[in-house]
Amino acid sequence: MSIPFWCVFIAALLIYLAKIPAAKAMSSEAGGYDNHHPRAQQAKLTGMGARAHAAHLNSIEIFPLFAAGVLMAHTTEMFGWWIDFLAVLFIVMRVLYVLFYLKDMHWQRSLVWIVSLACCLLLMLSPAVRWLLISGLS
């Protein structure tokens, strides 16, 4: 399996790893984890629990962009260090994103979010860059 595909797998795992602190916060509330109405309980979280839940939701939101970018690069046979670099950089930025969210480091979180979004968009644009390079050379 290629490095970008491994990164898609890791990105999927990060969605659920980001939820762990939110689930712990829900469990520590009076009455414990409400498995009958977890979304209502999540809506009432504050502090780090609320930030963990927000990081989890943001991880869900960005995953399709990243997966699409990797698939677009793969199906157009875009391989090499640039695609690998973008995929790995995305994962590093997403790990930092969750950590910065949990620690309430807001501007750092926003910065790594922008970089991770740029990775997705550059992966999506990689076939266009290849086309420009090939058509420019002919």
pLDDT at 62: 97
pLDDT at 30: 56
Cα separations in angstroms, 71 against 8, 51, 87: 10, 30, 11
pLDDT at 9: 98
Strand, coil or helix: what is 4? Answer: helix
pLDDT at 20: 92
Domain boundaries, the chain: 3-137
The pLDDT averaged over each successive group of 10 residues in the chain (138 residues) is 95 95 82 82 87 95 97 86 95 98 96 98 87 66
Cα separations in angstroms, 23 against 17, 49, 101: 10, 8, 16
pLDDT at 132: 67
| Encoded tokens for 127 | 């076939």
Q: Which fold has domain 3-137?
A: Four Helix Bundle (Hemerythrin (Met), subunit A) (1.20.120)
pLDDT at 110: 97
